[in-house]
A and B are shown apart, each in its own frame.
Chain A
Amino acid sequence: MPASTPIYGFPYPCPGEVVTAGSFSALANAIDTKLQDVVVDETLALNRYNVRLIGVSDVANTGVAHTTAGANSSYVLPVAGVWLVTAYLVEHTFSGAVDATSERIRVQQNAVTRFGSMERPAQGTNTFMYMTTSGVIVGAAGDTITTEVFFSGPPATLTYTMILEAKLMIRIA
């Protein structure tokens, strides 16, 4: 019964076993397979996942935390790792005069808040203010990254577009 190496399981004949051509091919194929894994590793290392998603116009209501919806509003992590995630709130307008309002954006992992930023927009009518928040998320493959917007008006609604960026910093095997 052939034995195998402790890390990658390369097969080799045990003492007393008949050594055949198959013994050589089994070992060679196992080594070749692992070499291909290392090549894939190198490719991934040189071309880290780096995505920029530009969302569509969305609306949040005053006093209600709103998870951004629509196309490009979320990102599913393709691999496990430490990710640098940035959300930009751009192209947004309030539905009326702004008074005593705070505005907050958050980045969530599987609907759990990981980080965010809060600001107070300038007072007035149809004011514009861009917001950015950036932080790290330790995620597993399949985790969903989303953004949430919250503001405390008046006015009644905030129309906005969110840009979501994610860059893989560290791979977790």
Chain B
Amino acid sequence: MTQPQCPQTDLTCPDPNNYAAIAKQLHETALEVENRLFCLEQLLRGAVNMPAFIETSTSAAGTAVSFDTPTPLNGTGAAATTFQNSTFGINSLLPEGVYHVGQYFNATPTGAATINSYRSAYIEMREVISGVNTDTQHWDQESWETATGNGGDTIVTAVVRSNGRQRPIFSWQHGNVASTMQINIGAVRWIIRISDSSTLRVV
């Protein structure tokens, strides 16, 4: 990624003996300095504030009894953008690089709970190759529901690498045979860029 350059030429100077232009020159100097400082400030913030996208669900998302079947969460239910300083969103191809990704949700049975049933959160990187979804870099975290009422807090985080043609798929899976499950309001999904995928060789 090419780093933008801030102006590096000398500030303009007033014409000799043209004292009437001093006021105008101060004006121009103020604007030129401001332009350069603003550029530096943006570069500094851009270098340390890596692009990120965070969304939080604003409505409950119900699922059919689909135990033992991974169910994607991207684009399901309503969600609001909590923070974004990136060009990518939850369903975007991620520019090549290394990312910290994660999701959290609290899921409760809509009816009876299957005692000692699991809840799993998944993250995979998906690339469409010849029209086929190809998922790699699988990450998952399981939690276990022992009784009704508590709900299942499930969270998974991972450091993934994108080749520029991939996007993260946030999925979940459950083993609650006795009833459907509901993912409650407040589910969070996030993507934070960490670095470029290649590093300069240190000599």
Which of B41, B54, B116, B146 interacts with A41 by CB under 8 Å? B41
Complex alpha-carbon distance, A102 and B152, angstroms:
10
Which of A120-160 touch B at CB < 8 Å?
A: 120, 133-136, 138, 150, 152
Please name the residue on chain A nearest to B50 by beta carbon. A170
Chain B interface mostly = mixed
CB distance from B55 to the nearest CB of A (A): 11
In the bound assembly, the distance between CA atoms of A31 and B34 in angstroms comes to: 8
The reply to whether the CB of B49 lies closer than 8 angstroms to some CB of chain A is yes
What chain B residues lie within 8 Å of A42 (beta carbons)?
A: 44
Is B3 close to A, CB under 8 A?
A: no
On chain B, the residues within 8 Å of A171 by CB distance are 45, 48-49
Given the complex, which residues of A lie within 8 Å of B23, measured CB to CB?
12-17, 19, 23
By the criterion CB–CB under 8 Å, are A118 and B143 in contact?
Answer: yes
Whether the pair A152, B150 counts as a contact (CB closer than 8 A) is yes
Check if A15 sits within 8 Å of B24, measured CB to CB.
yes
B84 to chain A, nearest CB (A): 10
Let me know if B27 and A41 touch, CB within 8 A: no
Report the nearest A residue to B41, measured CB to CB: A38
Q: A8 contacts B26, CB within 8 Å?
A: no
Taking a contact as CB atoms closer than 8 A, the residue among A7, A11, A48, A113 that contacts B38 in the complex is A7
**A93: interface (CB < 8 Å):** no
- A100 interface residue per 8 A CB criterion: yes
Contact of A102 among B22, B38, B54, B146 (CB under 8 A): B146
- Are A117 and B155 touching (Cβ within 8 A)? yes
Q: Are B54 and A82 in contact (CB under 8 A)?
A: yes
List chain B residues, Cβ under 8 A from A3: 27
Interface residues of A in 19-49 (CB under 8 A from B): 19, 23-24, 27, 31, 34-35, 38, 41-42, 45, 48
How does the 8 Å CB contact mask read for B24-64 relative to A, with 1 for contact and 0 for none? 10110111011001101100110111101010000000000
Contact A82 B34 (CB under 8 A): no
Say whether B172 faces chain A, with CB atoms less than 8 Å apart. Answer: no
Q: Which residue of A lies closest to B34 (CB)?
A: A5
* Residue contact A136 to B30, C-beta cutoff 8 Å: no
Is A115 an interface residue when CB atoms closer than 8 A count as contact?
yes
**A35 close to B37 (CB less than 8 A):** yes
A residues adjacent to B (C-beta < 8 A): 3-8, 10-17, 19, 23-24, 27, 31, 34-35, 38, 41-42, 45, 48, 82, 84, 100-102, 104, 106, 113-120, 133-136, 138, 150, 152, 169-173
Interface residues of B (CB under 8 A from A): 22-24, 26-27, 29-31, 33-34, 37-38, 40-41, 44-45, 47-50, 52, 54, 82-83, 85, 100, 102, 104, 106, 116, 141, 143-147, 150-155, 157, 186, 188, 190, 192
29 A-B pairs within 8 Å (CB atoms) are namely A6-B34, A10-B30, A12-B26, A13-B26, A13-B27, A16-B23, A17-B23, A27-B26, A34-B37, A42-B44, A82-B52, A84-B100, A100-B147, A101-B146, A102-B144, A113-B186, A115-B188, A118-B150, A118-B151, A120-B116, A120-B144, A133-B153, A134-B102, A136-B190, A136-B192, A138-B54, A150-B150, A152-B147, A170-B52
